[in-house]
Amino acid sequence: MQILGQNLAPSDGELYLLPGFYPNAAADALFQDLRCNLAWQTEQIQIFGRSITVPRLMAWYGDRAAHYRYSGVDHSPLPWTASLLQIKADLDSVCQHTFNSVLANLYRDGRDSMGCHADNEPELGKNPTIASLSLGDSRLFRLRHNRSKQTLDIELAHGDLLVMAGTLQHHWRHELPKTRQTKQLRINLTFRRILPANSAEPDVRH
Ligand SMILES: O=C(O)CCC(=O)C(=O)O
Ligand SMILES: [Fe+2]
């Protein structure tokens, strides 16, 4: 994926940052549109038999066939909105990839967060390319190597595009930590390609 510039991952995968992928005015317009028009919802997940409300709002959009299951919850996509389709076209073009779904997250303030995880569900295939667009307030994004525990901190700001690719999800996990700093709304969109249900590659990890 050298079209995207320098690989920021020191080992075991690919990570690219395109700061200001959308300039301020375009990013402002997208932020307002997505904040008002996406079907933001709280979500309950099951952990060790207990039901927990995730600390952020979420929405899932994509092609009709792009079903996605994670944290024990089956996500049926809502149909694309015009803005999401426009962003998808821009990201398909820059990544030379065809995304078919997007997970949208809305972080209301510094208490909202996403815990440490890898995007390694079987339906993403073996070495998924994931394009993550950030809009609104900036937040720290932290990657941690599974074995060495090396961490990599990246500040993600309004309009920035981060692309994870290659073997990154096998060797690194990532999180959006809570912060005591005063933070305003932030929207993150992670574009993914979900493989059709029965075509999962034979050697995916479980
Ligand atoms: O909000 C972010 O920057 C991270 C989101 C993320 O990791 C995910 O949606 O899987
Ligand atoms: Fe993720």
Residue 206 belongs to some domain of the structure: no
Q: How far is the CA of 174 from the centre of ligand 2 (A)?
A: 6
- Per-residue model confidence (pLDDT) at position 138: 98
Residue 202 belongs to some domain of the structure: no
Domain of residue 144 covers 2-196
Q: How far is the CA of 37 from the centre of ligand 1 (A)?
A: 20
- Residue 140's pLDDT band, with cuts at 50, 70 and 90, is very high
Give the ligand 1 atom nearest the CA of 186: 1
- Per-residue model confidence (pLDDT) at position 2: 57
Mean pLDDT computed over 1-10:
86
Q: b/e string for 176-194 if b means 16 or more Cβ within 10 A?
A: bebeeeebeebbbbbbbbb
- Per-residue model confidence (pLDDT) at position 71: 66
CATH number at residue 33: 2.60.120.590
**CA-closest candidate to residue 110, choices 176, 52, 174:** 176
pLDDT tens readout for residues 31-54: 999 999 999 999 888 888 899 999
Give the ligand 1 atom nearest the CA of 174: 7
Residue 74 or residue 148, greater confidence = 148
Q: How far is the CA of 187 from the centre of ligand 1 (A)?
A: 10
Number of domains observed in the structure of the chain: 1
> Predicted ipTM?
0.99
- Per-residue model confidence (pLDDT) at position 199: 56
Which residue ranges have their beta carbon within 6 Å of ligand 1? 103, 105, 114, 119, 132, 141, 156, 174, 176, 188, 190
Q: Would the pLDDT of 170 be above 70? A: yes
Residue 15 belongs to some domain of the structure: yes
Residue 34 belongs to some domain of the structure: yes
Q: Would the pLDDT of 123 be above 50? A: yes
Residue 92 belongs to some domain of the structure: yes
Q: Would the pLDDT of 204 be above 50? A: no
Q: Return the beta strands (E) in 9-100 as ranges.
A: 14-18, 44-47, 50-53, 57-62, 68-70, 73-75
Indicate which residue's Cα is closest to atom 6 of ligand 1: 190
pLDDT tens readout for residues 63-117: 998 887 766 677 789 999 999 999 999 999 999 999 999 999 999 999 999 999 9
Q: How far is the CA of 114 from the centre of ligand 1 (A)?
A: 7
